[in-house]
Every structure is written in C-alpha cells, then in structure tokens.
Structure 1
Amino acid sequence: MGRPRKVDIIGNVYGYLTVIDRAKSYSKDKKWDCICICGKTHGVTRQRLENGTTKSCGCMKKALAREKSVKHGGYRDGKNTPEYQSYIAMMHRCYDDKRLGWDRYGGRGITVCDRWTLPSPNGFLNFLEDMGERPIKFSLDRIDPDGNYEPSNCRWASRSTQGHNKNLVKNNRNTSIYRGVSYNKTAKRKNPWCARIGNGRDGYTWLGGFDTELEAAEAYNKAALELFGEDAKLNIFD
C-alpha cells in the first residue's frame, strides 16, 4: 500500500482566512499558515478550517464586540432591529467561547455559513436578504437542530414550533424508536409506554401512558397535528 496522497489546500479561503503555506508544526496536529483579512497570519489545522470552527485569526470575535457601534441596515430609529439582535446572538453562540451557552453551539461544531460571516456590514445584510424581517414573537430557529446556521436550515419560528423542533433531537437514553415516546421501567405491566410533546411554553405536555409503543406514538402524532398542523413532525409507521 502506498503512502496517502498529501492534500494541498493552499489558496483555499475559509471565512476571513486564506491558506498561504504549510506551517512548521512540531505537534501531531499539522497546521497551515493562513492570512486573515485583517493582515495577521495565523496557524490553523485543516480540520478546524474545513469544519468552520476557525474562520479568523480572532478578529471576528473582536468585531462582534464593536458591531453595536456600527450603523448600517441593522438600525431603525436609532435602535438595533430585531433581525440584527438575532444575527448578533447567532454569531456569539458560534464564535464567542466566553458566552453562556457557547458549548451547545460553537462548542459542538455548529457554525455560520460564509455568506453570513462576511465583514460588516455585508454579512448581516446577506442574512437580512435571506431571512427577511422577523415576525413579532418569532425568533431564529434551525430546522435541523444539529445543522449549521445557513439559509436552507434557518427560519423565523414561534416559541411553540421551536419547542416541538427541539423535541425531535434523539436522546442517548431514549428507549423508543418513535418521537415523544419512552418506556417507563417502573410501570411494570400496566401502561409502560409514555408519550409527551414539547409545547414551547413550560417544556412538555404529558399525553399519558399506553400498553404498547405504537399506541404511544399514535397519541404523539395526534397531539402534534393538533398543536402544529401542517408543520407537525410525525412518526412514520411501516
């Protein structure tokens, strides 16, 4: 078996960074020298470049802190617009590791698409063009909770819809193949299969205990249709 072919990413652009050469690295993690749009050079591993974890030399985080003093399309009557507030919150979640909740976003590899991370004001203006105005009582939501922030995976959603969406994330401790269904070991023989659904207000609505897993899944589907209509994410039966 021959040696694996070396990958050359010189010239590739990742966010604010352009790869210019292989870095002299004495660690196991091979790095690439990159030049940032601010003019600084920065050594980054190929993995962090390609998965979007690193998009600048660090100046992006500093730019976020300065954004509030920059007047552009994110202002209306001298105040930040709802769309701009959502944009800044999104950027902090993914790139400010000092921010509360970062571990649930940037910390687990969630990133923002290149189109929305262009230098100010272009990144925000692209975001506004793609998303449109934020409806009252709506907020930014990722359709796939494990996906990145990008036009195809983002929408303005109500709190109840987001609560329902979060309920679709599979838990490692889940005991059922169906959404909203779990097995209650303490119930023993009577109605051991439990059904519940996220309602976006106070967490979950209890739907009851059932003799079979299928009955519990059907109860979940019925509640989802009543709560969310055509937006309901339903269990599919073979």
Structure 2
Amino acid sequence: MATQIIPITNKKVKDRTGERWGRLTVLGYVGTLTVSNRSNAGFLCRCDCGEEKVVAGTHLQSGLVASCGCLHRDVSGGKPKHGAWSHPLYGRWNQMQQRCFNPSHQDYHDYGGRGITVCDRWRGDHGVLNFIADMGDCPDGMTLDRRDVDGNYEPGNCRWATVVEQNRNRRSNRHILYNGTRMTIAEAAERSGVDSRAIWRGLRRGKIVLGPEVFEEIRSEGH
C-alpha cells in the first residue's frame, strides 16, 4: 500500500516538500516517526532511481540518509572499497551539495543563494565518486576551497587549502595591487616584508612606493 502524504498541523514541523537531499527529493509529510526513542517528523522521499522511502527529517538534515540505499549499493563494489558512506570525503561532498541546493542550510545564502552551484560531474549517481577521483585525498588540516570565490564547485576551481589560505580567499578580504599583482594585504605584507598595518595606513594617503615595492588600491573594487 502506498504511503499517504498528510497535511502538517503541528506548527513545530517544517514542511520540507520539494527539498533535495543527496539523491532524495521530499514528496511530503507522512506523520511522526520514532527515532532513537524520540519523536521525529517523517517524510516520503523519491530517490533519483525511482524508489520511494520514508526518512526522518533529522536524518535528512544530518546527511545520514541521502538515497534509498542505491548509492551505497552502487559504490560498495568499486573504489573506494568500503563505499562512499565511509569515505572521508563523503561528508565534504555532501556539505558542498547542501550549501548550494538546500535553502534550509545555514550557509545557503552565501552559496546557492548567490548562484553558486556544483558542476554536473559532481552531482547525480556517481557524483561523489567523481569528486573523490578529481580531488584526491584531503591532506590533514586542509579544507575544500574555491580559487574564484564567485565561481562554482568544479574541478578547475577547487583545491585543498589551509585555513590561512582559505581565510585570505574570503570575499570580505581587502585586495590591493602589489607590484601590479592582485592579492590580499596579508599576502603583500608577507611577500614584501612590510608590516601590514603600515600598508593599511599608507594606502589611506594613496599609492605607496618603497624602492622597488609598489602598493596601490584597486579602484574598481570601490576601496
């Protein structure tokens, strides 16, 4: 018997109809489920493979369930041998999808809300495997970073970066021209040996010329 979708009458339950989580698209609310002895909203979802599955809302949000089970079956016999679920990069891949496609994600407004998306190669049935193959293992202490912060998640624009590198690549960072090359003030200070505070102060008065070193504003950025 088909699972019946019912109206949501509890104001504490968020309607997730139409949301996409991994391979699952939420069709509607089906009532209360018991998960680890606690009540949780249950949702009927349709997998990309066509199968339907009832999933607890908490399992969708956590990324614990992202398909009807077909994703695990698809990858369990190939690389990585233990399947994508247990691979260290699965969580990175899943969070990337959530930031770009899930309006409920806390960071959606900085990613999907700005038009940032994930390339076709890293989506769909084999997206996680392609992501793992393209990016390789993540070195200890590094995170997924986009070289162009206004660009999409795709092989040519993604790298593993240190926290320092990623912080320098934030949209909020102030960039200048150092000897004609665009970079952050922190990078210019590191390369030139000039204290970053001195660069900040000097740029308030205009272009700085210290022997062969030239620091100047990028006027098009409005600074």
Q: TM-score, normalised by structure 1?
A: 0.47
Q: TM-score, normalised by structure 2?
A: 0.49
